[in-house]
């Protein structure tokens, strides 16, 4: 039997951080299965996947050692364990559009998605009734300041033991500080065939440009807006008499379907991100 954990390290860049963390894990008999680190404007971020044989697993010892190491490095180190046999815990972030949230909850309820919808987080109250109807806890985080809002959202995710995040038409941009804590664990749906038409007005831009094919894209969220590794896409042909309203309505149908498909692929562990590209395995 093996035990698995994700470790994130975030703080001001300094020499020796990777060596200190990996050496500590080596001393704790961990097998480092994946490691990715990056420095952005002096901010160091590292995400590390590790596993332990049961003979060497001691959560309290490993956890307390990482707390001590975080103090010595003056950095934040998070240690999240996960059991492959247990259902992953999902957080769904929304704003006011209900179609993706309803589609996800329907898929969860029908057990098409083998995970637990653990909490719904929003910056508005519009969709609280849907959460209540489906008996999923609803958390309102409506702070105007982005850093304060993200701090509160991260606290909610920590409190609920969240494994991955779904952005179901969540209309706030996430900072690198947030994204690195859930590297390749935040799935977004965008209303265009990326890389065309990033941003909030994708359908309008497509309509005004007179494009003949409109689509949607599910992708992992990265520090660059709407440039994350693409998981799934779908599209439809624009008929000559279609209005912007028609295009939006047709696109929203696809958004729900493609987002559910992307989450399903993620949960089936069929996705591997290599040099910024998603490959199905």
**68-123 pLDDT per residue, tens:** 999 999 999 999 887 777 888 999 999 999 999 999 999 999 999 999 999 999 99
Residue intervals of the chain classified under CATH 3.30.70.260 are 2-82
Residue intervals of the chain classified under CATH 3.40.50.170 are 88-280
Looking at residues 40-59, what average pLDDT do you find?
90
Looking at residues 18-26, what average pLDDT do you find?
96
Q: What percent of the chain has pLDDT over 90?
A: 72
Show contacts of 83-86: CB within 8 Å, 24+ apart: 83/3, 83/4, 84/4
* Architecture in CATH for domain 2-82: 2-Layer Sandwich (3.30)
Catalytically active residues are: 226
Q: What is the pLDDT of residues 28-42, one digit of tens each?
A: 999 998 888 888 788
Task: Output the pLDDT for position 281.
Answer: 55
Task: Output the pLDDT for position 275.
Answer: 44
Distance CA 35, CA 9 (A): 11
Distance CA 202, CA 239 (A): 18
Distance CA 171, CA 169 (A): 6
According to CATH, what is the number of the domain 88-280? 3.40.50.170
């Amino acid at each position: 039997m093996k035990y698995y954990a994700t470790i994130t390290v975030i703080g001001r860049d300094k020499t020796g951080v990777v060596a200190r963390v990996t050496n500590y894990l080596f001393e704790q008999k961990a097998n480092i299965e994946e490691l990715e680190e990056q420095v952005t404007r002096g901010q160091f971020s590292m995400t590390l996947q590790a596993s332990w044989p049961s003979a060497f697993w001691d959560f309290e010892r490993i956890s307390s050692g990482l707390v001590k190491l975080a103090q010595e490095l003056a950095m934040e180190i998070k240690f999240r364990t996960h059991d492959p046999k247990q259902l992953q815990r999902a957080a769904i972030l929304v704003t006011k559009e209900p179609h993706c949230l309803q589609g996800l909850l329907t898929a969860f309820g029908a057990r098409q998605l083998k995970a637990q919808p653990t909490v719904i987080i929003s910056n508005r109250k519009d969709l609280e009734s849907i959460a209540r109807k489906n008996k999923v806890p609803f958390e309102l985080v409506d702070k105007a300041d982005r850093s304060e809002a993200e701090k509160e959202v991260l606290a909610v995710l920590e409190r609920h033991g969240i494994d991955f995040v779904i952005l179901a038409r969540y209309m706030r941009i996430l900072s690198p500080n947030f994204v690195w804590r859930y590297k390749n664990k935040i799935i977004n749906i965008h209303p265009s065939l990326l890389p065309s038409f990033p941003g909030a007005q994708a359908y309008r831009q497509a309509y005004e440009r007179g494009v003949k094919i409109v689509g949607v894209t599910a992708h992992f969220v990265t520090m660059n807006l709407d440039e994350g590794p693409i998981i799934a896409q779908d599209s439809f042909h624009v008929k000559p008499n279609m209005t912007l309203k028609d295009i939006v309505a047709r696109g929203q149908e696809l958004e729900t379907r493609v987002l559910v498909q992307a989450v399903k692929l993620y949960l089936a562990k069929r996705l591997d991100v290599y040099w910024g590209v998603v490959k199905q395995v």
